[in-house]
Amino acid sequence: MSSYFANSRDFAINKLTLNNTNNNYISEGDALQYLHKHSATSAMHDSEERYPPPLCHEGTRDVVICRIEGWYGFEIPPEKKIMWVHAPAGYGKTAVAGTVSKKMESRTDLDFNPVGATFFFWRTSPERNSPARFIITLAYQFTISIPELAPHIEAAVKRNPMVLNKALEAQVTKLIVEPFKSLGELDNMPHRLVIIDGLDECINSDQESRIEKQYAEDQERVQVRILDLIRTLHSHNLPLCFLILSRPEPWIKQHIGSKSFQSITETLDLYQVGDHMKDVETFVRAELARIAEHLDPQPGDDEEWPGEDTVKDFLQRTGGHMLYAATVIRHIGDPYDDPRQRLQDILRGEFNSTQDLTHSTPFSSLHELYRQILRSCPQANRATMVGVLEELLAAREELWLRSKVQAACNILDRLCGRAPGRGIKALRPLHAVIRLSGDDDGSSSNSPFFYHSSFAEFLRDRSQPLPDVTINVQKGLSRVLAGCLKALSAITMDGQVSEEHVKFSLNHWWSLWFGLHPITDADLSSHFKALLSADLTACFIQNVMDNERSDNSLFYCLLDLYHRNGSLIVRRRPFPVYAALIEDLLSHLRSSADACFRHVLDPEFLNSHLVDFYRFSLFLSLYMMQLSEHRPVPAFDNLVQALRGLLEKRETFFKKLEESVEKSMHASNRDSKPAVMDIFKRARQDVE
């Protein structure tokens, strides 16, 4: 946890995952399990989170896949051991990566598995949008794909379990390079392929800033850092090849075009390879035939639907864009409407025949298709539909664990005061662009809700949607936050937090609070007053007791709690006109934290409640740092007194807590360690 404690002032984090790494010794046989625990298993190509994985439609992308297989060579390593495949959004890069993984793993003519490891980055998944577990995940997969490597990686983890908390560059050396070198002669070892998809989806979310410029700089830095890690692995002449797929972001393109990469990297532009029109035609004809099987023939039809002229018109409109074709197919495949009429409506719409595949950003034809889909939505439900879309976009990162839209809409309905089921009903006409059923047709997306990120980008662009479909994400965020703050009032110290919308509120109100840019003064004032009326002591206690949550409002409220400029939560809302409310809120946060720790440290409470010890000791460490640095009265004395009472009745628990806090302080490398440990000494004075 050192990365969270060190230099804690004036920074913001949006996600926090707690992992107990206090143990400095791992027993025999536990090392690989420990490595597995810290791996991003959901980032692997065959993970449950990605099931069913996006794959290329049969008979499409054959030229691209053959080109990649030809470069890899199987038995003979390529001259350039890194291949970068790039293309804009919507070209099926993830499907290509998944298909290559599947085809290579299915080879029966080889006595080894050519796929050494895979990592599929994904912007909205905390486990997959950060580099933190990248090297660990590759190393874990190598223990499986290269069995002779397993004991050497296991030994590295057993020697120093804290390597999993070291810098990525150190992990590369200890978990991959040195284990490979321990095998001795590597020239005769089959080379394995490492597939890294969606490099541009790695956004370093653990250090994400809400300031756009800083956020963009963080993305560039972390993506270039991943490339440098790959180059480091390449420099050691290991039996590894690397297939990297991403959008052609300028910084990625520039780095791969530098001298250090040019001589070792083969670049493949997905647009330049293969016959995209042929691939789209294969897909369109197969899908239209599938839909036609379920249609009753209409009197007077001279030929079976859709007819060759209709197919050709449709293909011309796709411009070779598989994303456009797939979106139309989903739209016309609505089981509650007539596919013939829907396709005819699309083809009758405005169309610029000069658009071609090179005009991929923005997708002008795709955006027009999105407008047509929105026009088809009933006017009576349009206002509700807009509201739900605003809320989904505003809380997309917070809702990602509820990967099905139905579950997300149920929460949003409760928070925003709609009748149950009304939200999902309003979205039904958008089934072509939103995953209403929660099923995955194999298409690529960086959102659990939208089939493709381009629809979310389209909605955010106010120049794109219809006049009565203007999306204001801040309005949606304000509504969701208001609902969350209201839901906090249902939380009590001893009650169970069971309702999903209340759980969501307890987990995520702070994240929504950080992202809010109030539209009116009235909005801001109401949010302040709602937070002031919440029983934050009860909320904090629930955070301590729950061992399943990865998001912790107490952690963020404690950051710089006694800083002269106010805590992190308050400093994010620097509005002088509300100075009195801000002061009241700061006082509320401090008194609530004080009451929380006094309550949880009460031996009677500990005797009757199950507390997540590691989480509580972490929070207590952070709180004690604040107290030791600022010595607020009476909070400092209250904590000493609470610890003294704990020592008198639960001495074993007291000692365990003292030891855990000391380890946390040692890991944080903070100057305040002596002052923090002095609090325990003060608690001992009168008792001993």
pLDDT (mean) for 377-405: 86
Measured CA to CA in angstroms, residue 66 lies from 62, 71, 87, 102 at distances of 6, 9, 17, 13
What's the pLDDT score for residue 302? 63
When pLDDT is cut at 50, 70 and 90, the band that residue 207 belongs to is: very low
Q: Which residue, among 559, 449, 451, has the nearest Cα to 514 in the 3D structure?
A: 559
More confident residue, 50 or 253: 253
For the record, the structure tokens of 184 come out as 């001795």
pLDDT at 481 exceeding the cut of 90: yes
- Nearest 5°: phi and psi at 434? -120, 140
Omega of the bond prior to 131 within 30 degrees of 0, cis?
Answer: no
Which CA distances in Å does 235 have to 116, 147, 587? 18, 23, 55
**What are 84's strand-pairing partners?**
244, 267
The pLDDT, as a whole number, for residue 195 is 98
Q: Cis (ω within 30 of 0) for the bond into 574?
A: no
Instruction: Bin 670: left if φ > 0, else alpha if -120 < ψ < 50, else beta.
Output: beta
In whole angstroms, what is the distance from residue 89 CA to residue 200 CA? Answer: 11
| Model confidence band, residue 375 (pLDDT cutoffs 50, 70, 90) | confident
Q: And the tokens for 507?
A: 């987990």
For residue 362, is pLDDT > 80? no
Contact 555, 514 (CB under 8 A): no
Q: Is the pLDDT of residue 353 over 50?
A: no
Q: Band the pLDDT of 473: cuts 50, 70, 90.
A: very high
Look up residue 129 and give its two tokens.
Answer: 């949008």
CA proximity to 118, closest of 128, 132, 109, 126:
128
Greatest alpha-carbon span in the chain: 100
pLDDT exceeds 70 at position 354: no
Listed in sequence order, the residues at least 6 apart from 578 whose beta carbon sits closer than 8 Å to its beta carbon are 524, 525, 528
At residue 74, the pLDDT reads: 83
Partnered with residue 196 across adjacent β-strands are 119, 244
386 has pLDDT over 90: yes
In three-state secondary structure terms, 221 is helix
Structure tokens at 479: 């509504």
**Residue 369: Cβ-neighbour burial (10 angstroms; 0-12, 13-18, 19+):** buried
pLDDT in tens, 422-459: 999 999 989 888 888 754 444 444 456 888 777 887 88
* Residue 430 to residues 207, 363, 377, 444, Cα–Cα distance (Å): 34, 19, 8, 17
Reported as a pLDDT band with limits 50, 70 and 90, residue 49 is: confident
The percent of residues in the chain predicted with pLDDT above 70, rounded, is 84
**Average pLDDT over the chain, rounded to an integer:** 84
Mean pLDDT check: name the lowest of 142-151, 325-334, 499-508, 514-523.
514-523
Please give the Cα distance from 368 to 352 (Å, whole number).
10
Split at pLDDT 50, 70, 90, the class of 645 is very high
How many Cβ atoms sit within 10 Å of the Cβ of residue 404? 16
Name 595's Cβ contacts closer than 8 Å, sequence gap at least 6. Answer: 537
Length of the chain: 688
Omega before 250 within 30 of 0, i.e. cis: no
Q: What is the pLDDT of residue 516?
A: 82
pLDDT at residue 545 is higher than 60: yes
Q: How far is Cα 476 from Cα 387, in angstroms, rounded to an integer?
A: 7
Between 521 and 479, the more confident residue is 479
Is 200:122 a contact under the CB 8 Å cutoff?
no
Q: Which one has a higher pLDDT value, 19 or 115?
A: 115
CATH 3.40.50.300 fits 26-272, yes or no: yes
Measured distance CA(199)–CA(224) in Å, rounded: 9
Q: Tens digit of pLDDT for each residue in 523-538?
A: 788 888 999 999 999 9
For residue 350, is pLDDT > 60?
no
Residues 560-618 pLDDT 10s: 888 877 666 776 555 666 778 888 988 999 999 999 999 999 999 998 888 888 888 88
Q: State the pLDDT confidence band at 251, using cuts at 50, 70 and 90.
A: very high
CA 513 to chain centre: 19
- Residue 109, burial from CB neighbour count under 10 angstroms (0-12, 13-18, 19+): exposed
Residue 388 confidence (pLDDT) above 80: yes
Check pLDDT > 70 for residue 29. Answer: no
How confident is the model at residue 26, as a pLDDT?
56
Query: How does residue 357 score in pLDDT terms, banded at 50, 70 and 90?
Result: very low
Decide which of 651 and 495 is more confident: 651
Above 50 in pLDDT, residue 4?
A: no
Which H or E run contains 366?
A: helix 364-375
What does 314-335 look like in DSSP terms, one character per residue? HHHHHTT-HHHHHHHHHHHT-T
> What pLDDT is recorded for position 360?
39
Q: How far apart are CA 331 and CA 550, in angstroms?
A: 37
In contact, 90 and 360? CB cutoff 8 Å: yes
Helices (H), 516-634: 521-533, 536-545, 553-558, 568-571, 579-600, 603-608, 613-630
Least confident of 28-32, 44-48, 225-229, 480-484: 28-32
Phi, psi (deg, nearest 5) at residue 244: -115, 130
Q: What is residue 363's predicted lDDT score, i.e. its pLDDT? A: 55
